[in-house]
Amino acid sequence: MQQRVVVVGGGYGGAAVAKALDDVADVVLVEPKDAFVHTVGALRAAVDRDWQDRVFIPYDRLLARGRVVHDWVRTATPTQVRLSADEVIDADYLVLATGTGYPFPAKFLENQMSVAAARLARLREALTKAERVLIVGAGPVGLELAGELTSSYRDLGVTVVDEQDDILMNGDVLPEVRASIRAQLEARGVVFELGAALGFLPPSDVGTFEPFTVATAAGREITAQLWFRCHDASTTTEYLGTELARRMIGGGRIQVTNMLNVVGYETVFAIGDITDVPESKRASAARAHAAVVAKNITSLIAGRPATTTYTPAAELIVLPLGPDGGASQLVDTSGARVMRGPKETSAIKGSDLMTGPMADLFGQGPVSIPR
């Protein structure tokens, strides 16, 4: 009998590792959502209906031999997972890949694609009525959302609030990248209120139309009709049983070795946002983790030691501001960090948001990109 690999979480890392091991193991992927959410394109789908079908991708063609179980994991131990319906799945190898939660519209709480799509439709309808929106958070998500909004709704006012004195302050970002992003958004009329947090949050839910007035701690009043919270990702690790929970550190992250197995457990691995790997949490890192873990589990199944290690890549930023704007921080051939502008950023990510590679991973074939 083939050894079983149970993958908890069907995001970027979990889907990739399940696919890579499908030929060598009995793979069970446990994921409550009925469709993969391509979150790289979620903010584009929030403003453009044509993108909606490209961010929700069915799981039915991901695995040729293994199976996908749409359920919650109630408890995970090193050798089994207990599902919300009281089903227990034994595991020879366990991969933890549950990622992080984040406020709408960057990510979705809804498990049904139809419900999430309906919420997006309500948001787009609300945007047609709004005169100004408030974005709380001047990190990559908040700025990308500002770029999408100003690309699709040219007359919409956007105010970005952050307690930091400049944008993109929670990372090692080149000053010229900050300056380029800010200048592009200001040219579109975006107003930045920096250096002071909000005194209180708006009374309405994010993404819903309800006029309000709030003020920053510095006394600046902001009147808008919608708002979005673009900060404070939350690690999804509450399902870990007592034994594995001992390997959690601050923020709910899991301690892993350089081979990405959980410290102290040769057959339990963690990938993506939930790890304590010192790097920014991004989809490309999760996929790189998946490749390392797939090689190590393949070796262990074959009776060989796991030897593939993971080294964090240089910190990269590819921040589109709609289809045609943005800036990137890349590394040149000498290893030096360099900035690239709107044209290069669009070529990397801006125009198609990497929908083609994701459709290919999930067996969906070519994807036509709306123009």
Give the orientation angle of helix 283-301 with respect to helix 12-21, to 10 degrees.
Answer: 30
Higher pLDDT, 309 or 371: 309
Strand 337-340: give its sheet, edge to edge: 317-320, 326-331, 337-340
Which range has the worst mean pLDDT, 14-28, 106-120, 148-162, 340-354?
340-354
Task: Label residue 142 by pLDDT band (50, 70, 90).
Answer: very high
State the Cα–Cα distance between residues 355 and 8, nearest whole angstrom.
23
Q: What is the pLDDT of residue 350?
A: 63
Would you say 94 and 267 are in contact if contact means Cβ atoms under 8 Å apart?
yes
Q: Which domains does the chain have, with CATH numbers?
A: 4-32+71-102+233-301 (3.50.50.60), 113-232+315-361 (3.50.50.60)
Computed over every residue of the chain, the mean pLDDT equals 94
pLDDT > 90: percent of the chain: 86
The helix (run of H) or strand (run of E) holding residue 158 is strand 157-162
Helix and strand totals (H; E) in the chain: 10, 21
Task: Label residue 365 by pLDDT band (50, 70, 90).
Answer: low
- Average pLDDT (213-227) is 97
pLDDT surpasses 90 at 81: yes
Tally of CA atoms within 13 A in the half-sphere of 275 that contains its CB? 31
pLDDT digits (tens, 9 = 90+) for 15-48: 999 999 999 999 999 999 999 999 999 999 999 9
Supply the pTM of this predicted model: 0.93
- Average pLDDT (123-135) is 97
Picking from 29, 27, 3, the residue whose alpha carbon sits closest to that of residue 15 is 29
Q: What is the pLDDT of residue 367?
A: 44
Q: What is the pLDDT of residue 353?
A: 85
Q: What is the pLDDT of residue 184?
A: 98
State the Cα–Cα distance between residues 305 and 297, nearest whole angstrom.
9
Q: What angle do CA 316, 320, 322 make, to 5 degrees?
A: 170
pLDDT digits (tens, 9 = 90+) for 100-113: 999 999 999 999 99
pLDDT surpasses 80 at 1: no
Place of tokens 């209120």: 193
State the Cα–Cα distance between residues 187 and 30, nearest whole angstrom.
45
Q: What is the pLDDT of residue 370?
A: 42
